[in-house]
Amino acid sequence: MTTPARPVSDAPLTSQPWRHVAPSRMAAWDADAGRPVSWAEFHGRIGAWQRRLDALDALDGPGQRWLLHCRCPREFAAALLALWTRGDSAVLPADERPETLGALAAECRAALGDIPDGLVADATPSSPRWGPLAPARLAVSLYTSGSTGEPRRIDKTFAQLDAELAAHARLWPLEGRLVISQVSHQHIYGLLFGILRPLCEDAPLAGAACRTPETLGAWLGRLADAPMAPPGAVLVSAPPPLERLPETGLPPAATDRLARVHSSGAPLSATASAHARRVLGAPVEEIYGSSETGGIAWRDQQRDEAWTPLPGVEVRADDAGGLWLRSPYLASPGWQPQADRIAPGPAGFRLLGRADRIAKVGGKRLSLSGLERRLARHPDVLRAHALPLPGRPHRLGAVLQLATAALPWCREARRARVAELRDALSTAYPVSLMPRHWRFVATWPRNAQGKLGAAEVARLFRDLDDPRRPRWLGVEKDGPAACRVTLEVPERLSYLAGHFPEQPVVPGVVMVQWAVALAEEHLALAGEFRGLERVRFPQPLLPGERATLELALEPPAEGPRLAFTLTGRRGCHARGRVRLAPGEVGHGR
Partner 1 sequence: MSTPLEHELKQLIIETLELEDTTPEDIDPDAPLFGEGLGLDSIDALELGLALQKTYGIQLEAESEEARRHFASLRSLAALVEARRND
The residues binding partner 1 (CB under 8 A) are 362, 394-395, 411, 414-415, 418, 422, 430-432, 434, 436-438, 464, 490-492, 543-544
Encode 465-498: b = buried (16+ Cβ within 10 Å), e = exposed. Answer: eeeebbbbbbbeeeeebbbbbbbbbbeebebbee
Single-letter amino acid, residue 69: H
Rounded to an integer, what distance in angstroms lies between the CA atom of residue 493 and that of residue 77? 47
In whole angstroms, how close is the CB of 394 to partner 1 at the nearest point? 5
Nearer to partner 1 (CB atom), residue 283 or residue 490:
490
> What type of residue is 93?
P
**Of 68, 71, 69, 74, which is closest to residue 27 (Cα–Cα)?**
74
Smallest gap from residue 509 Cβ to partner 1 (A): 22
117 or 491, CB closer to partner 1?
A: 491
Taking the complex as a whole, how short is the minimal distance between the CB of residue 367 and partner 1, in angstroms? 19
Cβ distance to partner 1 smaller for residue 292 or 463:
463
Question: Considering the complex, what minimum distance in angstroms separates the CB of residue 380 from partner 1?
Answer: 17
CB of 517 to partner 1, least distance (A): 21
Residue 442, φ and ψ in degrees, nearest 5: -85, -40
CB of 146 to partner 1, least distance (A): 25
- Taking the least distance from each CB to partner 1, the nearer of 19 and 394 is 394
For partner 1, which is the closer residue by CB, 95 or 463? 463
Least distance in angstroms from the C-beta of 182 to partner 1: 38
Minimum CB separation from partner 1 for residue 431, in Å?
4
Nearer to partner 1, 92 or 464 (CB): 464
Q: How far is the CB of 465 from partner 1 (least distance, A)?
A: 10
Instruction: Quote the CA–CA distance of 179 and 173 in Å, as a whole number.
Output: 12
Q: Rounded to the nearest 10 degrees, what angle do helices 368-376 and 411-425 cross at?
A: 120
Q: Is residue 63 a contact partner of residue 87, using CB atoms and an 8 Å limit?
A: yes
In whole angstroms, the minimum distance from the beta carbon of 331 to partner 1 comes to 40
Cα distance between residue 226 and residue 178, in whole Å? 13
- Which residues, 6 or more positions from 472, have their beta carbon under 8 angstroms from its beta carbon? 459, 460, 462, 463, 485, 486, 487
Nearer to partner 1, 411 or 530 (CB): 411
DSSP 229-272: --S-EEEEE-HHHHHT--TT---HHHHTTEEEEEEESSPPPHHH
Nearer to partner 1, 260 or 417 (CB): 417
Q: What single DSSP character describes residue 307? A: B
Minimum distance, C-beta of residue 467 to partner 1, in the bound complex (Å): 9
Cβ nearer to partner 1, comparing 25 with 411: 411
Query: H-type helices in 135-226, by residue range?
Result: 158-171, 188-190, 197-200, 213-225
- CB-based contact 232:258 (threshold 8 Å): yes
Provide the CA 158 distance to its chain's centre, in angstroms: 24
Cα separation, 249 vs 281, in Å, equals 9
d(CA 71, CA 77): 10
Q: How far is the CB of 452 from partner 1 (least distance, A)?
A: 20
Indicate the residue among 109 and 414 with the shorter CB distance to partner 1: 414
Rounded Cα gap, residues 287 and 285, in angstroms: 7
Q: What is the per-residue DSSP string for 462-516?
A: GGGT-TTSPEEEEEEE-STTEEEEEEE--TT-GGGTTS-SSS----HHHHHHHHH
CA dihedral 453, 458, 459, 462 (to 10 degrees): 170
Q: Kindly state the smallest distance separating residue 164's Cβ from partner 1, in Å.
A: 46
CA nearest to 249, candidates 220, 285, 206: 220
Q: State the Cα–Cα distance between residues 492 and 209, nearest whole angstrom.
A: 43
Q: Which is nearer to partner 1, 422 or 577 (CB)?
A: 422
Contact between 408 and 416 under an 8 Å Cβ cutoff? The reply is: yes
Of residues 464 and 515, the one with the C-beta less far from partner 1: 464
Question: What value, to the nearest 5°, has the Cα angle with vertex 69 and ends 171 and 483?
Answer: 95
Q: How far is the CB of 443 from partner 1 (least distance, A)?
A: 21
**Do 52 and 88 meet the contact criterion of CB atoms below 8 Å apart?**
no
Closer of 369 and 432 to partner 1 (Cβ): 432
Q: Which is nearer to partner 1, 203 or 434 (CB)?
A: 434
